[in-house]
Copies of this chain bind each other. A is one copy, B any other.
Amino acid sequence: MIEADIFKALADPTRRKVFEKLAGGSLNASALRDGLEISQPAMSQHLSVLRAAGLVREQRQGRFVNYEVDPDGIVAIGAWLARYRAYWPKRMEALADLLKDMDQ
């Protein structure tokens, strides 16, 4: 059950901040530490959790490891959210189109 990992990963405020940073573009682990007062191992562990959840993917470049948002995680959340379509208010009706595509 990957959605378990996703919600657990996003439950931590630091990981959400990291994810949000990556939404602005690809960054390596050191760059991600800027602003966040956190040790290097802590960041490494957080990135490991985000990666295991499918929210982030990595790409080695020399001795740097670049991280970026993994669309798969985004899709998984969208798919989960789509299951509760019956409770979407009218202004979220547009999501119905998403569900339609995902069912295929």
Contacts and interface: CB of A to CB of B under 8 A. Distances in A.
A13 B23 contact: no
A69 B98 contact: no
Interface in A68-88: 69, 71, 74-75, 77-78, 81, 83-84, 86-88
Name A's interface SS.
helix
A29 interface: no
A48 to B, nearest CB: 17
A38 interface: no
B83 A23 contact: yes
Given A23-B83, A71-B88, A97-B97, 5 more contacts: A8-B11, A81-B81, A91-B101, A94-B94, A95-B98
